[in-house]
Structure 1
Amino acid sequence: MSYPGYPPSDGYPAFPGYPPTGQESVYPPAGQYPYPTTVPGGFPPSGGGTFPAAPPNAGFPGYSALGGYPASGSFPGGPQAGGMPPYSGGPGFAVPPTGPGFGGYPQQPPAQSYAGGGPAQIPGFPGGQVPSPMPGPPAAVVQYTQGTIQAAPNFDAGRDAEILRKAMKGFGTDEQAIINVVANRSNDQRQKIKAAFKTMYGKDLIKDLKSELSGNVEELILALFMPSTYYDAWSLRHAMKGAGTQESVLIEILCTRTNQEIREIVNCYKSEFGRDIEEDIRSDTSGHFERLLISMCQGNRDENQTVDYQKAQEDAQRLYQAGEGKLGTDESCFNMVLASRSFPQLKATVEAYSRIANRDLLSSIDREFSGNVERGLKTIVQCALNRPAFFAERLYYSMKGAGTDDSTLIRIVVTRSEIDLVQIKQMFTQMYQKTLATMIASDTSGDYRQLLLAIVGQ
């Protein structure tokens, strides 16, 4: 199976420096995080929670405003230390509790009791103190994500199969009828429609769709009808098939998926294409980039959501000594920490690193690495800090400038539509002062545009 124009012919879009040109009002100045971060131990100390961003006067290195942070309100959990204005929600951060992820506002963990008496004095921490002893409270940080596509109520696979059959029967194609079905069904429901279609008509729905559609709208609809694991495996195979390698696809998928997703992708790659993904990666990549991707393929990242702040401090020191603190770079140290630690643990490590190095970790990776391994390492860090912001950036650069990287646009919209596309849209608006739908509408046309907008939601 092949899609026109897939994979994209261009390379991985360079990560812009922060701030990107023309976005100075959105991103913090160089040396500060472009992503929302979590204050170790919870802030304020008596309750805890995740701040979308903290204003510069909070006294905590690396924190700055990221838009929509109110100057008044109330944050449950304690006093406002260090000149922090109270938190009252902020647009785009209070989201429904539909699953794990990044970018949302977590529930406040229950109050903890701490051994050791009074609070520890921490230089540079808001208010100068956090509860003793270090590390912080064991409560996991819970964050919420939400897709734009939900399973349709009162679903009837046979009825939908009949609608699709009528839309493709006879002269011409009723694209609107097809769009109405595929954009409003979950991936699981689409698989049931595909099975019902074959049972009812003895025909393959995918073959019928391919014969009726063409171009980008064909690629988009066929992607929607692929099981999600198969689509990721298919995308990886086509990124390495033939002459040249689409490293951006390898990075986007292997550096952002969960352990379970990675393992399922690796198994699917073997069963569907009869190939070993590690062997394909070794034949198509080399050096430290190859080793990073092989590490990602193991699907063995620690997924314990409890943060060990002492380990975060030690890892931050280790990364500093492996890069900024020495002549040359110990690439294996960066690989080890970024490939094995949980994303909440990496977030705490990034925060500790900024205090040690007086520079954020993304900037240090910029200085110490180049090429694809740099992009891969930065993707992991960005996903630890704010996964929806990473995908928002990828979507923006798929449409920015002359031409459109349609395959990247399609892949991200489809793969995130049931996971965190709501949060990606929110981050997109905050980062670029325009909605994702607006940019899609101006960059695409016809049924392709209509279907993309139906998935994204207005």
Structure 2
Amino acid sequence: FFFCCVHVKYSVSCEPKYPTVVPAADFDPDRDAARIETAIKTKGVDEQTIIDVLTKRTYAQRREIAFAYERRAKKDMITALKGALSGSLEAVILGLMKSTSQYDASEIRGSIKGLGTDEETLIEILCSRSNEELVDIKKVYKELFKTDLQKDVKGDTSGNFAKLLLALVETKRAEPSAIVDYEKIDEDARALYDAGVKIKGTDVATWISIMSERSVPHLQKVFQRYKSYSPYDMQESIVKEVKGDLQKSFLVLAQCFENKQLFFAKRLNEAMKSKGAKEKIVTRIIVSRCEVDLKKIGCEYKTNFGQSLQKTVLEHTKGDYQKVLLSLCGPEE
């Protein structure tokens, strides 16, 4: 089976992590592999044990379990899990068997290579990931699919929407700096206003370069300053100035610059409460963020929606899918 190792260089600019899934303390891969093997062989499959083991281990630990399983059972654990599970539970468990960047890369690939483009997924991932995350995603994408992410995005999108996504994929965003450049903040705020609300039509190229190349702390201050030039805040301006997928992308960027975890909390709330709960979105956010910032997303959720993420999961999902999500969300704070 295929696992690719991604070495992440941690620098000052790495965002702080607020994971709900942390390394298990008394970790024994052989013991876990034996438990998984028994659970798979049990008549009717013991899903609960599979959930208990795999949601309480990090990706690095799950990898060790998979190696131990292969030594033990002489077969590939991912294939065995695929054969034993189905539906939403299978989607979550197989997602957990990938690293965060492998998972993101696979989701992007699926959104591009399926029937018609799933723009929503493409926008959510490319517009919400940090520079470091995007660098890793590009690397893993190339390893997994033997082609460049840029090439696939270019072949599947067009116009200004394509230009914005490609600018993000180029990962030219500046690193956060300890020095606050007020002159540059004012200049960028003014440029965003001059390129949009002030004129007839929109100079999209200026918006793209500022929003894809400046650091997040800088952009937060630019958006504050922007209000002194424009009668509308940045999000209102985006809605007035551009339409369609380009508008959606700029909005996701603006929301993530202001408060990324709140953006995900709102996405989860919308997806769970919409008719026919949008499971794909719920699965993607919880799987991709459980080792990143799901704890903080949960806090934002409670603050903004008056009840915990766990309670909403209980109300809007059922069965093994509910159990696996609750386990990944961790206990209520």
The TM-score bracket by the shorter chain reads over 0.9
Conserved 8 A contact 1:151-1:186: yes
Q: 1:258 aligns with which of 121, 130, 133?
A: 130
Q: 1:339 aligns with which of 212, 236, 240?
A: 212
Instruction: Provide the identity percentage.
Output: 36
Distance (whole Å) between structure 2 residues aligned to residue 300 and residue 199 of structure 1: 43
**Which residue of structure 2 lines up, in the alignment, with residue 316 of structure 1?**
189
Q: 1:425 aligns with which of 298, 312, 316?
A: 298
Runs of at least 5 residues in structure 1 that lack an aligned partner in the other structure: 2-99, 101-139
AA of the residue aligned to 2:181: D
Conserved 8 A contact 2:29-2:65: yes
Q: 2:60 aligns with which of 167, 188, 193?
A: 188
Deviating beyond 6 angstroms after TM superposition, the runs of 4 or more aligned structure 1 residues are: 140-143
Deviation by residue 1:383-405 (Cα, 9 ceiling, x = unmatched): 11111011111111111231011
Distance (whole Å) between structure 2 residues aligned to residue 142 and residue 171 of structure 1: 46
Larger radius of gyration: 1
Distance (whole Å) between structure 1 residues aligned to residue 195 and residue 267 of structure 2: 29
SS of equivalent residue, structure 2 residue 229: helix
How high is the TM-score relative to the length of structure 2?
0.92
Query: What is the correspondence of 1:199-278 to structure 2 with a 5 Å cutoff?
Result: 199-278=71-150
| Aligned-pair CA distance for 1:145 | 4.3
Query: What is the correspondence of 1:25-424 to structure 2 with a 5 Å cutoff?
Result: 144-306=16-178, 307-424=180-297
Conserved 8 A contact 2:13-2:175: no
| Aligned-pair CA distance for 1:170 | 4.0
AA of the residue aligned to 2:298: K
Distance (whole Å) between structure 2 residues aligned to residue 244 and residue 313 of structure 1: 41
Distance (whole Å) between structure 2 residues aligned to residue 206 and residue 231 of structure 1: 14
Distance (whole Å) between structure 1 residues aligned to residue 51 and residue 41 of structure 2: 16
Describe the shift of the 1:142–1:418 C-alpha distance in structure 2 as closer, same or farther (beyond 3 A): closer
| Aligned-pair CA distance for 1:164 | 0.3
Runs of at least 5 residues in structure 2 that lack an aligned partner in the other structure: 2-9
Distance (whole Å) between structure 2 residues aligned to residue 277 and residue 368 of structure 1: 28
| Aligned-pair CA distance for 1:142 | 10
Distance (whole Å) between structure 2 residues aligned to residue 224 and residue 371 of structure 1: 33
How high is the TM-score relative to the length of structure 1?
0.68
SS of equivalent residue, structure 1 residue 226: coil
Conserved 8 A contact 1:191-1:227: no
Describe the shift of the 1:299–1:166 C-alpha distance in structure 2 as closer, same or farther (beyond 3 A): same
| Aligned-pair CA distance for 1:348 | 0.5
Deviation by residue 1:203-256 (Cα, 9 ceiling, x = unmatched): 111111111111000001110111221111100010011321111111111112
Distance (whole Å) between structure 2 residues aligned to residue 298 and residue 199 of structure 1: 41
> As a proportion of its length, which structure holds more helix?
2
SS of equivalent residue, structure 1 residue 255: helix
Distance (whole Å) between structure 2 residues aligned to residue 424 and residue 258 of structure 1: 16
